[in-house]
Amino acid sequence: MLVLFLCTGNSCRSQMAEGFGKLYAPDGWQVASAGSRPVGYVHPKAIAVMAEKGVDIAGNSSKHLNDFPKPDVVVTLCGSAAEECPLYPGALMTEHWGLPDPAHAEGDEAAVLNAFRSVRDEVERRVKDLFARL
C-alpha cells in the first residue's frame, strides 16, 4: 500500500507528513510526498523543525505528483483557497487536511519557526491518527 501526501510545492507540509509517515507507517507500507508544482527543494526550516523531533528529511527531494502512478491513499494538505490543491482520482481513499503553508509565515525568526512547529505538530497528530485508522 502506498500513502501519498500532496500539496502544491512539496517543500514543507507534505514533506513533514512523509517524514512522520515513514516513522509511523506499519511494516510493508510505502509513504511518499509530492506536489502539483514542486519547488525543487525541501524548505530548510521544515528540515530544522523535523530534526527537533528526531526525524531526518534533509535527504528528501521535491517531487511531482505524476511520479506516483497509483497511490492507494492520498492526503492533500493545502490550506487556503488561493492554493491550487491537486486532485488525484482513483485512490482507494482520499482525505484533505487544510493546513496553512508555513513557508508563507511572517514575522521575526522566532515567529516563523513557531509557525513551522505548529504545522509540524498538527501534521504529526494527523499522521498518527491516519495510520491508526488504516
Catalytic, 78? Answer yes
- Angle, CA 60 vertex, CA 77 and CA 129 arms, to 5°: 40
Catalytic residue among 4, 75, 78, 115: 78
Give 108-129 pLDDT, tens digit per residue.
999 999 999 999 999 999 999 9
- Please confirm, yes or no, whether 12 is among the known catalytic residues: no
Burial zone of 68 (CB within 10 Å; 0-12 exposed, 13-18 middle, 19+ buried): middle
Instruction: Give the cell for residue 129.
Output: 491518527
Residue 83 is predicted with a pLDDT of 63
Round the average pLDDT of the chain to a whole number and report it.
Answer: 93
- Which 3-state string (H, E, C) describes 50-108? HHHCCCCCCCCCCCEHHHCCCCCEEEECCCCCCCCCCCCCCCCEEEECCCCCHHHCCCC
Report pTM: 0.94
Confidence of residue 133 (pLDDT cuts 50, 70, 90): very high
- Given the residues 2, 85, 105, 113, select the one marked as catalytic: 85
Among residues 4, 7, 12, 74, which one is catalytic? Answer: 7
55-87 residue pLDDT tens: 999 999 999 999 988 899 999 998 765 566 777
* Portion of the chain with pLDDT greater than 90, in percent: 81
